[in-house]
Amino acid sequence: MNDSAPIPGGDNVLVEFEDGIAWVYLNRPEKRNAMSVDLARDMNRVLDELELDDRCGVIVLSGKGKAFSAGMDLQGFFRNTDAVSDVERHRAYRETRAWQWRTLMHYAKPTIAMVHGYCFGGAFTPLICCDLAVTADDATYGLSEINWGIIPGGVVSKAIATVMGDREAMYYVMTGEKFDGVRAKELGLVNESVPADRLVERTRELAKVLLEKNPTVLRQARMAYKYSRYLDWEQAAEYLTAKGDQTTFVDTEKGRDKGMKQFLDEKTYKPGLGHYHRDAEAEQ
């Protein structure tokens, strides 16, 4: 796909390309990017298109304006789905679940959540289902559903249970207390917490590191980790052996062969001190 191709997006989602990075923004700043049914539909289209778009090597998910996302839109999701048929309501649920976790969790390309401002309730799901996450120190997080007389909706409880300890998760579910980006790092919700004026720069640095990797091996490594979490040790051993063989077979870049040749024969690559030279053959 060439640079003149249309840019994916919609009324509720904005995409910007930058040297292999697709910056994907929830684009409802007047609602602090609260997530509606229409936003879910736009996100599904955008993610589908970017998966096959050569301009996108890494996705950074964030929000326009002053928030990552204030969670689910009480009017644009809950009230609107209460007023429709049961079939329409379940379709809205399916469309929301599709992008927030089914697609993000198993996406073909690496994903990074970049959090600033507010991250509440339902926003925890896409945050956690991105591969990596960077937050501003002064971002504000909260599982405030208990204060509304409801429980954390969707699969938020499942999502936080995959990255947070039980005591910490239960504390915030039961109290509804807010916390900042520094605490989010301590809880395991994000990889890094940085000053707000460093957020974009640090996220860009991380995305560039991922862009340097062999994309096939990176995808296989991500999926191998995610699926092996659900297996016992014996099953994981068999699965990961097969996954390694599959990776070697499907990798058109032949990274394993290049790495071995550069390490054993050419002595130009030392594991732990950098990555093998992906374009070595092209330079010869």
Average pLDDT over residues 183-208: 98
pTM, rounded to two decimals: 0.92
Query: For residue 253, is pLDDT > 80?
Result: yes
Q: Could you tell me what percent of the chain has a pLDDT over 70?
A: 92
Q: Which two tokens stand for residue 253?
A: 């870049």
Average pLDDT over residues 4-31: 93
Each residue's pLDDT tens digit, 73-90: 766 555 555 556 677 777
Q: How big, in percent rounded to 5, are the helix, strand and coil portions of the chain?
A: 50, 15, 35
Each residue's pLDDT tens digit, 117-134: 999 999 999 999 999 999
Q: Could you tell me what percent of the chain has a pLDDT over 90?
A: 74
Average pLDDT over residues 101-112: 96
Element (H, E) at 140: strand 140-142
Strand 58-63, strand 111-115: pairing:
parallel
Q: Tell me the torsion sign for CA atoms 240, 245, 250, 251.
A: positive
Query: For residue 40, is pLDDT > 70?
Result: yes
C-alpha span between 45 and 10 (Å, rounded): 9
Q: State the DSSP string of 54-82.
A: TT-SEEEEEESTT-SB-SB-IIIIIIHHH
The pLDDT, as a whole number, for residue 4 is 67
Find which of 147-156, 192-201, 250-259 is predicted with most confidence, using mean pLDDT: 192-201
Q: Which residues make beta-bridge pairs with 59?
A: 22, 111
The pLDDT, as a whole number, for residue 267 is 75
Query: For residue 101, is pLDDT > 90?
Result: yes
Do the Cβ atoms of 137 and 195 come closer than 8 Å? yes
The pLDDT, as a whole number, for residue 52 is 96
Q: Which two tokens stand for residue 173?
A: 């579910």
In this structure, the dihedral spanned by the alpha carbons of residues 280, 1, 40 and 107, taken in order and rounded to 10 degrees, is: -30
